């Protein structure tokens, strides 16, 4: 596809005219932007093919046991972080990106054989749940680390929202595939389809590493030699445990840790409440899987609309700090609404808002926090934060939820707790937005 574009300047002009209505892309960035969108499309399409299966297994395993699965996932993530750190110091960028992607694709093939049996053992169900959580944390974090390596800080402001839209399109395609095929091919063959889709992303990785990035002045749109940002296809410096050490040395990264942990709490509270409500209303596993797929599609549909129409302009309209705070404020208000009206429809609405706002607004904005840090911090510290810290937040919040239930907390009490945590989340977002603005000025200066 990329070679075809190179040979068709008229097609490039038509695509440029259409895309520039949505995002401020420069001529020399078009093919890289489309490749990045395709890369994220493939990653999230692969994930969302099997995500509804994971959600169904939450109920099949028993919602009351979810905190144990989150704890196991946290342990697994802490165990693999040194391995990832070792890989990044031993192999070049293209190699460790390929190794990580192929590892997850091979795992999907392995689960195909484990699922393709007359009666699936419970340990397979639990292992798959943990693996999916690890995949989601790890592969998406690695993608955005790579994007921060490919693009400059100025380009990130202009292009990340549109790249996120490519992922949202993939997140919409995955549930459609699951809904259409789950009854005819079964769960196991969906995993093979997902493995093939994920493997195709390797082509995008290879092209982006070879791309010679050119920087442009964002004021007059002319080419400039400032802040050129081509990927350095080389191994990273340091040791296997640098991710943790880099975080401990930086108040800015510690602030991001707090932001991510509070974000994880909101996800867990909403997800468990939704699972409890759905388990009470629906008893058939296929129907639950289809409902989860519909929720996924709805959330991603609204996210795509926001990304194509609104997101790219939010920072220009309201500033970075306000944009970063939008979803924390919205989730806090959402918890207050659920506390006043604790019904399934309200919980699903909060989940759709949380996820569409996450993908459309908070995700690209949050990833920009790493555009002002070193290359080692972009890969090692970021991956540690997005995996170990996020999963620790999930685990802690699942136990907090279980503890509140054990102490007799009613259905409206949990959202009230969420409101208090949401206020803390908003405060951290305010501080981080200020720090990012200060660091951006330092980098520009």
pLDDT at 223 over 50: no
Predicted pLDDT of residue 221: 46
By C-alpha distance, which of 315, 358, 331, 310 is closest to 417? 331
Query: Does 202 map to a domain?
Result: yes
Domain, as residue range, for 415: 26-216+230-444
Query: Does 317 map to a domain?
Result: yes
pLDDT tens, residue by residue, 428-441: 999 999 999 888 87
Predicted pLDDT of residue 203: 92
Query: Does 19 map to a domain?
Result: no
Which residue has better confidence, 71 or 215?
71
Query: Does 269 map to a domain?
Result: yes
Task: Round to whole Å and give the CA distance between 46 and 191.
Answer: 9
| CB neighbour class for 132 (10 Å; exposed up to 12, middle 13-18, buried from 19) | buried
pLDDT at 142 over 60: yes
DSSP class per residue in 273-315: HHHHHHHHH---HHHHHHHHHHHHHHHHHHHHHHIIIIIHHHH
Mean pLDDT within 380-408 = 73
Residues in contact with 218: Cβ distance below 8 Å, sequence separation at least 6, in sequence order: 24, 154, 157, 158
Mean pLDDT within 340-354 = 75
pLDDT tens, residue by residue, 143-184: 888 888 888 878 887 888 888 888 888 888 888 888 888 777
Predicted pLDDT of residue 138: 80
Predicted pLDDT of residue 227: 45
Query: Does 258 map to a domain?
Result: yes
pLDDT at 226 over 50: no
Predicted pLDDT of residue 157: 78
Query: Does 221 map to a domain?
Result: no
For the ranges 133-142, 195-204, 281-290, which has the lowest average pLDDT? Answer: 281-290
Task: Round to whole Å and give the CA distance between 371 and 387.
Answer: 18
Mean pLDDT within 395-417 = 68
What is the number of structural domains in the chain? Answer: 1
SS3 content of the chain, % helix, strand, coil (to 5): 85, 0, 15
Residue 32 is inside which H or E element, if any? helix 30-60
Percent of the chain with pLDDT over 90: 12
In this structure, what CATH number is given to the domain that contains residue 317?
A: 1.20.1250.20
| CB neighbour class for 16 (10 Å; exposed up to 12, middle 13-18, buried from 19) | middle
By C-alpha distance, which of 93, 102, 103 is closest to 202? 102
Residue 210: how many other CB atoms lie within 10 Å: 11
Query: Does 406 map to a domain?
Result: yes
User: CB of 100 within 8 A of CB of 84?
Assistant: yes
Query: Does 20 map to a domain?
Result: no
């Amino acid at each position: 596809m990329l070679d075809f574009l190179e040979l068709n300047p008229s097609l490039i002009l038509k695509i440029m005219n259409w895309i520039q209505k949505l995002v401020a892309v420069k001529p020399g960035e078009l093919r890289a932007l489309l490749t990045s969108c395709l890369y994220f499309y493939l990653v999230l399409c692969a994930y969302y093919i099997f995500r509804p299966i994971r959600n169904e297994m939450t109920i099949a395993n028993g919602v009351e046991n979810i905190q144990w699965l989150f704890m196991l996932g946290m342990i697994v993530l802490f165990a693999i972080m040194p391995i990832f750190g070792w890989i990044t110091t031993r192999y070049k960028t293209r190699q460790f990106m390929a190794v990580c992607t192929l590892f997850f694709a091979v795992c999907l093939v392995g689960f195909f054989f484990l699922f393709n049996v007359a009666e699936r053992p419970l340990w397979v169900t639990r292992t798959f749940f943990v693996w999916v959580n690890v995949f989601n944390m790890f592969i998406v974090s690695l993608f955005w680390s790579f994007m921060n390596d490919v693009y400059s800080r100025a380009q990130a402001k202009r292009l990340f929202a549109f790249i996120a839209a490519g992922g949202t399109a993939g997140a919409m395609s995955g549930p459609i595939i699951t809904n259409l095929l789950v009854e005819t091919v079964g769960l196991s063959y969906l995993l093979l389809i997902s493995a093939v889709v994920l493997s195709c992303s390797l082509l995008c990785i290879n092209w982006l590493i070879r791309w010679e990035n050119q920087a442009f002045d964002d004021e007059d749109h002319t080419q400039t030699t400032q802040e050129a940002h081509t990927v350095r296809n080389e191994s990273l410096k340091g040791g296997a445990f640098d991710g943790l050490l880099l975080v401990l040395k930086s108040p800015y990264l510690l602030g991001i840790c707090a932001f991510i942990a509070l974000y994880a709490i909101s996800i867990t509270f909403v997800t468990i409440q939704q699972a409890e409500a759905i388990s009470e209303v629906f008893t058939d596993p296929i129907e639950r899987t289809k409902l989860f797929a519909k929720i996924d599609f709805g959330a991603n549909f609204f996210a795509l609309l926001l990304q194509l129409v609104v997101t790219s302009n939010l920072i220009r309209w309201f500033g970075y700090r306000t944009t970063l705070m939008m979803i924390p404020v919205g989730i806090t208000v959402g918890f207050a609404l659920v506390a006043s009206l604790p019904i399934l429809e309200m919980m699903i609405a909060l989940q759709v808002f949380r996820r569409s706002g996450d993908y459309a607004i908070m995700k690209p904005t949050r990833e920009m926090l790493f555009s002002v840090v070193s290359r080692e911090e972009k890969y090692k510290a970021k991956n540690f934060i997005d995996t170990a810290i996020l999963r620790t937040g999930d685990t802690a919040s699942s136990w907090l939820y279980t503890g509140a239930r054990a102490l007799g907390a009613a259905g409206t009490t949990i959202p009230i707790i969420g409101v208090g945590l949401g206020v803390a989340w908003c405060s951290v977002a305010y501080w981080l937005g200020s720090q990012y603005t200060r660091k951006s000025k330092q980098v520009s200066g």
